[in-house]
Each structure stands twice: as C-alpha cells, then as structure tokens.
Structure 1
Amino acid sequence: MAKNIKTIPTSEYDEVARVIQEYYCNGCHKGNTSLLAKAFHKDATMYGFTMTGELLGGPISNLYDYINQHGDAPNIKTRIDIIGITPTTAVVTVGMERDAAEQNYTDFHTMVKFDGEWKTIAKVFHTYES
C-alpha cells in the first residue's frame, strides 16, 4: 500500500506568503525599493501589459524604477493566493488595488527556493483601468 504523505508542510506556504507580503506588498506600500528587492532574485524579470495595452518587459529593475518614480502607496490593498507549490518552486497570485499611481493589477510571481530562501524569479502582470 502506498504511503499517504503530506509532501509540503504548511510552514512552506506560510513562508512563501510571508516573503510576498513582507517584502513585495509592504515594499510597494512604503515605496521602499530596498525592501521590495528582498522579494526578488537579482536576475528576476517582469513582463506584462500596462493600462494602455502596451507590453512592458525586461529586468526587475523596471519595477524599482516605477516605485522610485511614483513613491509610496498609502491606499494599496493586496490579496495573496498560492496557486501551487513544490519543495523548491511556487506560483503566487497577487491581486493589487490602488498602487502608488492608483492602478489595479493582477500579478503572477514564479518563485524558486534558493539556499533556503524563497525569491521571485519572474513576475507577469496585467493592469486594469482604475
């Protein structure tokens, strides 16, 4: 008979959510790119569509430039959902309303566990009309 084993402990889900909340969401809220950068691998990328339908893509530094340009987001509201997780990978959805530019988004973060730490390696997003 096959063993019925829970392969991913709940603590891993908690840690993935913590990284997204503490570094990504709070970094956006405070307009703090040093905090924000802790959520991302140094070689992370991001791609997505702006509110005008323009494709924006490239290195994650584009996100840091955006945050530096627009500042903090005192009215931001976020929701984190973990779509899937393995011992070394995770996919997370972040619903975001009212960022620093009063934009609304859906983000998908692909994460990898490097040396015991969860980092986003790719962020794809869609922007909605405010």
Structure 2
Amino acid sequence: MTDKTYVEEYTAVVKTLSKYLESCAKADSSIMLTAFHADAAMFTVGESGVTRAPIQALFDGIDNDFKPSTPNSAVVSVDIVGTVASARVDSDNLDGFRFSDFFHLLKANGEWQIVAKTFHTHSTPTN
C-alpha cells in the first residue's frame, strides 16, 4: 500500500499546526515559517470590515508584539480530502488573548502547508 492513510495525513496536518502553536507560545516566528506557504494570507473582521494581511504581518506580530506565554490550545477539527485540508484551532491565554483560528492547507511536494488563516479574537473578560 503506497497511499498514506487518513491517520497518517491527520498526523502530518497536526504537526504543521503544531509549528504555528509552538511559534506563538515562544514568540518566535522562525518556528512557523515552514508551516506557511510563501503566498499565504490571513483574514479577520474588524470595525472597518474584512481585513486581509500578508502572512508576513503575522510573523512580524509574533516577533515584535507577543511575549512568550503558556496557551491552552486544542486542534478542534481537521478535515482532509486528498491534497486539501481545513482545521480549527482554539487557543486560550495566547499572550493574554483567546483565538479561534481556521486554517486552510494544501499538500504539495509531500508537505502540508498553510495557505490561509482566518481568525476570530474573542473578547477577554475583565476581572
């Protein structure tokens, strides 16, 4: 059998997502660089509507604005069909923020890479 099983592909997708999570927790974008395709982008909705940014903005934010933290993160779902995948990751206490991230991945040359990140920043309760 030469085709990878769903479990093997799932594990590979989660490994790619883990680079993102480790990078955020350590405030070091160099860890996540290989997880993202060079043309990746991220999207969110703000007060002025939909915002699109090149993935370099994420790397810059991680390196310049984040402080190392101890997030609680979970891969909530992974859906894989052939060479495409989508995943949801929820993180609490990621540098004091709560996020729900949706990632779209493509498998090219045997490697899974994130091509898009859409996210929601949850309001943080005040004590």
TM over 0.5: yes
Q: Which runs of 4+ in 1 moved over 6 A?
A: none
Q: What SS does the corresponding residue of 2:70 show, helix, strand or coil?
A: coil
* Unaligned segments of structure 2, at least 5 residues: none
Alignment check: 8 A CA contact 1:17 1:82 kept: no
What displacement does 1:54 show? 6.2
CA–CA separation in structure 2 for the residues paired with 1:81 and 1:8: 20
Query: 2:29 is matched with which residue?
Result: 33
Residue-pair matches, total: 122
Q: How does 1:90-105 map to 2 (within 5 A)?
A: 90-100=85-95, 102-105=96-99
What displacement does 1:63 show? 0.6
Q: TM-score, normalised by structure 1?
A: 0.84
Structure 1 position 107 matched with structure 2 position 101: yes
Alignment check: 8 A CA contact 1:20 1:39 kept: yes
Query: 1:80 is matched with which residue?
Result: 75
Query: 2:117 is matched with which residue?
Result: 123
Percent of residue pairs identical: 27
Q: 1:49 to 1:96 in 2, by over 3 A?
A: farther
* Unaligned segments of structure 1, at least 5 residues: 1-6
1:2-36 deviation digits (Å, cap 9, x = unpaired): xxxxx843110011011101x10001011111112
Q: What SS does the corresponding residue of 2:82 show, helix, strand or coil?
A: coil
1:29-62 deviation digits (Å, cap 9, x = unpaired): 1111111212100100000135x67643221111
CA–CA separation in structure 2 for the residues paired with 1:54 and 1:104: 20
> Alpha carbon RMSD of aligned pairs, Å?
2.0
Query: 1:4 is matched with which residue?
Result: none
Q: TM-score, normalised by structure 2?
A: 0.86
